[in-house]
Amino acid sequence: MFEFSLSAQSGRARTGLFLTPHGPVQTPLFMPVGTLGSVKGISPQEIREIGSQIILGNTYHLLLRPGPERVRRLGGLHGFAAYDGPWLTDSGGFQVMSLGHMRRISEEGVVFQSHLNGDLIELSPEKSLGVQEALGADIIMAFDECPPYPADRSYMQDSIERTLRWLERCLRAKTRPDQALFAIAQGGVDLGLRQTSTQATAQFDTPGFAIGGLAVGEPKEGMYPAIELSTRILPEAKPRYLMGVGHPEDLVASVALGVDMFDCVYPTRTGRFGYALVDEGRLNLKLTRHLDDPRPIDPECDCYACRHFSRAYLSHLVRAEEMLASRMLSLHNLRYLHRLMEGARTAIASNCYGEFAKGFAQKRFGNEIPGWFKKALEDGSHWA
């Protein structure tokens, strides 16, 4: 039911095909985030039209509303949200960090104070798996703790050991064969702890593995050695998912190191703030210089916004706070990342990913390419 096969490699960058009950997905890929079962402002039809392959939903938020049993009765996420392609649900582990001021951790699990009404919400490995089984996603995530950055080393040690024990409980609690459970390795930017966690996690031989605990405020110079180490340890024959990463330069650098899957709220949140993603960085459409610009956001882009609207019109919508602005910029930003991953897959298939990544960096950074990006490409140019 779940099968991952590699189709091409260029250095450590690779393309693959992951089969799920609701269709195949090609990697490397970016997954739009639909925290509450909806990618903000974008319809399922539009999600498909821009080339999305998987939508991500969130266990903690969907537990609070509308509730997992209601979603189950109404056809799971595929039927309830009218998107019958593959879904992935996060376990709620990220909220263990992001809601740190509203939760209490024990060996049993986590007790949250609901951000909606203050009610106490219990989430354990078994509860997380039960919610995810009710939601019905194709890929589900083991319940873990995502430690903050920075964190004390002894705290990190205790956290990764507890996350491994929680993984064992998740595997025992899982009942649905039509869902692939991905395990999550932690360790922050401490390479010793990262190695310990990743090696131990890989022993569980789950259908896929996630690299967690990064992109939480640490410097790039710490993040990339952790990614490089993780992809060297994780099995070649399983998909590798770098959680919570969505900046274009991070996708390009991480693909070079052998990462297959990404997710982040960055493209849609950035769109709601009036920014459009382009090769050179972010286009701030709030600026007055765009008010008379007849050009599209990106003449190379085939999204609806770029095919129909000028920067002048979109700038007007942003300044007037029209909801169409958020929709169109979110749509464009998602399409930008999908086009980036499509280009990456084409380059890998032609065994020229290094040239692709360097071309991207030249547009992005000019003559001041960061050292961490250069190092990632160097590490990615050699076989693991």
Active site residues: 90, 263
**E strand or H helix that includes residue 311:** helix 311-319
For 207, the token pair is: 């259908």
SS3 (DSSP) at 223: helix
Cβ of 99: how many Cβ atoms within 10 Å? 17
- The region that residue 308 occupies, defined by phi over 0 for left and psi between -120 and 50 for alpha, beta otherwise, is alpha
Report the C-alpha gap between 331 and 127 in whole angstroms.
34
Written as six digits, the tokens of 369 are 């390419």
Residue partners of 93: CB distance under 8 A and separation at least 6? 128, 141, 142, 143, 144, 145, 146, 184, 212
Measured torsion, CA atoms of residues 60, 341, 269, 150, in degrees rounded to the nearest 10: 60
- What is the C-alpha separation between 344 and 257, in angstroms, rounded? 13
